Chain A
Amino acid sequence: MGHLVTGQGSTYDVVVVGAGIVGAACAHFLTREGLRVAVLEKGIVGGGATAAGMGHLVAMDDSPAQLALTKLSLQLWRGLLEELPASAEYRETGTLWIATDEEEMAEVRRKYGLYSSMGLACEVLDGEALAKAESELRRPLAGALRVLGDGVVYPPVVAQFLLREVAERGALFTGRSVSSIEGNVITLGDGTRISTGYVVNAAGCSAVDLTSGFVMRKRKGHLIITDRYPGFLRHQVVELGYLKSAHSVTADSVAFNLQPRATGQILIGSSRQYEDEGAAVDDDIVRKMVERACAYMPGVARLSALRIWTGFRAATPDKLPLIGPSPGNPKVLLATGHEGLGITTSMATAQLITDMLLGRSSPIAREPYLPSRMNYEAAHA
């Protein structure tokens, strides 16, 4: 570990605030480019949203920009797999997007066309093939889209792994809270001041407390984990209606979303709520989640449930993350607002941030994610 240098002498090229998966990925990419990076984390590595998320690495097409970002991310994840420790629990499960009726099958075919055209390997399953792929699913169902390259990880371990080299070549400080960022000077809770070349604000839901000029809301989610049932489930299975759930901007919503963990455990999702900022488990939401899960897969009701927990997604008004310079302070780059996709898109986020800081171009257009768009939105809201 290095030590913080206060005052004029700036020891670090970049200071990253937050050691969630996004901060960890940014720090990792920057370190690999030879920059000196320090990470400041108020709690522990990967202890925020990163400890609560499902860890589904998934291509999503709510918007072309989202698809571009998730696709690039999946490529970058693939490049990392070789190095990941076994405890990162990576598995290429693929995703099954389940269609219950013909209308949803039309959506399956649309998605198939789009994903294929983007070079994402996928196939359309009819009801019979779907029943073969996942025998616990209710029958009959219309079919599904199987996306082959999607996978599952255990995010807190990945965050820790990404920070290993950073800690060796730069520095990682946990238990250090940032209280303000002015220009390129960071002030910690204990009054310590650090100046640096650039700051990456990857403080998750708390990013808004450190950088002004944009809005984000906390979107609460519940998950249920079961005991071990190896073989019960093979793919991450998600209802197509998930898109409606994930993208509704107001109401509470629940969607069928089931994940096989490498341990044989089943992770049951997922819910989305605004206006509830407490960590407590909401019985009503759990009821809806269980009913939803059992409507698609009745056998879930028999599995032994070990724990329910909640977490918060950082949600922007247009459902795209904030990646790039803060409009009010060009020394600060934002890397937050990933809502329910931050595990997946941490990789592309780190790539874009690194490209920006090194003055390089990026494999995808960066404009859709630039924070400056928010002011534009606010003015036109």
Chain B
Amino acid sequence: MTRSFDVLVVGAGPAGIAAAVCAADEGREVAIVDENPHPGGQIWRIGRENTEHGKVVGDAEVWMRRLDRTSVQSFLGWHIFDAPAPKVLRAAWGPEVAELHFKSLIIATGARERLLPFPGWTLPNVLGAGGLQALVKAGLPIRGKRVVVAGTGPLLIAVAVYLRQKGADVVALCEQASTSNLLKFGIGLLGQPTKLADAVRFGWQSRGIPLRTSCWPTAALGRDKLERVALNDNGRAVEIEADYLACGFHLVPNCQLVSLVGCVLDGSYVRVDEFQQTTVADVFSAGETTGVGGVEAALVEGQIAGLTAAGARQKAASLLKERNATRRFTRLLDRTYALNPDLRRLPASDTIVCRCEDVSMKAVQGNASWREAKLQSRVGMGACQGRICGAACEFLFGWGMESVRPPIQPVPVGSLIGTRAENF
């Protein structure tokens, strides 16, 4: 299947949806692709249910409804795996393959959680914080289960509140950042009324959830699956019984696709100008790929990208001020949730670092670079191609990740060339 669009949007989270809606409202032919079967991205994903906590649903509903009213073509459950030529992407859905041609491309592939290795983190029922939330949204029954939410970042509170609303018993909420950092964060929010309101609302909703700051898991314990979580709570060792450990250390951007199409990165983020234009002509990026700044940043960046891609640069310009405010929030987040260097000592020498290939800390340690570690130990060579262990090693060893290679998600060999397996 080959299809052509004026504007192709990859990622159906807030940034992608806003981009698609704005470009469509300008009369462009638009398609939006997301590998998840449900739209909404990490925060708005609806799946089987439509109403969730407070204001987020407000925004979500507004934008989802706007999306429904446009003529945007949705490719849900399709993942982009290759950019075989300029202005063409290849997408797969099971054994099906589509070639999507575009005049402009907007990459809004968001972020994933940073997961850090510690003894026992590979036990079943130890998940990412957003990971457990996503699975509950996808139908996992959580009522009555004891959950420890841990790691760092504003996501933790949102996850804890959500899980409790779903009937989970959140037995601890462990934030590695210190109380003083969190207080500074609160003060920083004073200049950001909507964020402050969010914080107050979450503060209210999270009352009763036992929050521990300067606290992180040191081990997940259990035989065949998680039974207990060992914590370092302000230097004290504590153990808590739990059915699930939901542990994520803030977010890292998903820059595989921007890299694949040749966009220049600054550190781990893609470089964009004020109109969200990357260094590659007609390729834009919006949302967490440009900086982890939350849903407001994503929405405004998405709108700017969508309008600019559709040729409505004037309209886009009117949003620039709003975007600059969200930039300040991004920097505030980075400062507040900076990882405590002590977390580098979490993995023991036999702790698995690369989950795909079962490569231990001791095999990875002692190499001089990510590439050397990869070649000598197979770290990052498995199915996730370093998405999990690469981001961990970035923190543990300060290694930069390398450029990507197609396919950016595994696909059947036949799909590499756009042919279904049974046609050989």
In their complex, do chains A and B touch, with some C-beta pair under 8 Å?
Answer: yes
A residues engaging B (CB < 8 A)? 44-47, 51, 87, 156-157, 160, 174-175, 224, 226-227, 268, 281, 283, 286-287, 290-291, 293-295, 298, 300-309
- Once A44-B371, A307-B405 are accepted as A-B contacts, the answer to whether A302 and B413 lie under 8 Å apart by CB is yes
CB distance from A21 to the nearest CB of B (A): 12
Query: Could you jot down 11 A-B contacts, CB within 8 Å?
Result: A44-B372, A156-B376, A291-B417, A302-B412, A302-B421, A304-B383, A305-B413, A305-B415, A306-B383, A306-B407, A307-B406
- Once A44-B368, A294-B424 are accepted as A-B contacts, the answer to whether A286 and B407 lie under 8 Å apart by CB is no
CB-CB under 8 A from A157, the residues of chain B are: 375-376
Are the CB atoms of B414 and A301 closer together than 8 Å? Answer: yes
Are the CB atoms of A227 and B383 closer together than 8 Å? Answer: yes
Query: What is the chain B residue whose CB lies nearest that of A302?
Result: B421
CB-CB under 8 A from B410, the residues of chain A are: 227, 304-306
Q: Is residue B369 within 8 Å, beta carbon to beta carbon, of the partner chain?
A: yes
Are the CB atoms of A303 and B405 closer together than 8 Å? Answer: no
What are the nearest 5 A-B pairs in CB distance? A301-B414, A294-B424, A283-B84, A301-B421, A156-B375
| Centre residue among A157, A226, A268, A301 by max chain B CB count within 10 A | A301
Total A-B residue contacts, Cβ distance less than 8 Å? 92
Q: Given A157-B375, A305-B411, 6 other A-B contacts at CB below 8 A?
A: A156-B376, A294-B424, A305-B416, A306-B385, A306-B410, A307-B405
Q: Is residue B419 within 8 Å, beta carbon to beta carbon, of the partner chain?
A: yes
B367-390 contact mask (Cβ, 8 Å, vs A): 1 or 0: 011011001111001110100000
Are the CB atoms of A301 and B405 closer together than 8 Å? Answer: no
Are the CB atoms of A44 and B375 closer together than 8 Å? Answer: yes
Partner of B413, one of A87, A156, A303: A303
B residues engaging A (CB < 8 A)? 82, 84-85, 368-369, 371-372, 375-378, 381-383, 385, 405-407, 410-417, 419-421, 423-424
CB-CB under 8 A from B415, the residues of chain A are: 305
CB-CB under 8 A from A227, the residues of chain B are: 383, 410
Partner of A304, one of B378, B381, B411, B417: B411
CB-CB under 8 A from A44, the residues of chain B are: 368-369, 371-372, 375
CB distance from B361 to the nearest CB of A (A): 16
Report how far A46 CA is from B421 CA in the complex, Å. 35
Report how far A304 CA is from B417 CA in the complex, Å. 13
Are the CB atoms of B412 and A304 closer together than 8 Å? Answer: yes
Are the CB atoms of A286 and B416 closer together than 8 Å? Answer: yes
Query: What is the chain A residue whose CB lies nearest that of B382?
Result: A306
CB-CB under 8 A from B420, the residues of chain A are: 301
Are the CB atoms of A290 and B376 closer together than 8 Å? Answer: no
CB distance from A302 to the nearest CB of B (A): 4
CB distance from A155 to the nearest CB of B (A): 9
CB-CB under 8 A from A45, the residues of chain B are: 372, 376
Query: What is the chain B residue whose CB lies nearest that of A303?
Result: B413
Are the CB atoms of A294 and B414 closer together than 8 Å? Answer: yes
CB-CB under 8 A from B378, the residues of chain A are: 87
| Centre residue among B385, B413, B416 by max chain A CB count within 10 A | B413
CB-CB under 8 A from B381, the residues of chain A are: 307
CB-CB under 8 A from A281, the residues of chain B are: 405-406
Report how far A300 CA is from B412 CA in the complex, Å. 8
CB-CB under 8 A from A87, the residues of chain B are: 376-378
CB-CB under 8 A from A226, the residues of chain B are: 413
- Once A160-B376, A227-B383 are accepted as A-B contacts, the answer to whether A290 and B407 lie under 8 Å apart by CB is no
Report how far A287 CA is from B90 CA in the complex, Å. 13
CB-CB under 8 A from B417, the residues of chain A are: 286-287, 290-291
CB distance from A143 to the nearest CB of B (A): 22
Query: What is the chain A residue whose CB lies nearest that of B90?
Result: A283
Are the CB atoms of A290 and B413 closer together than 8 Å? Answer: yes
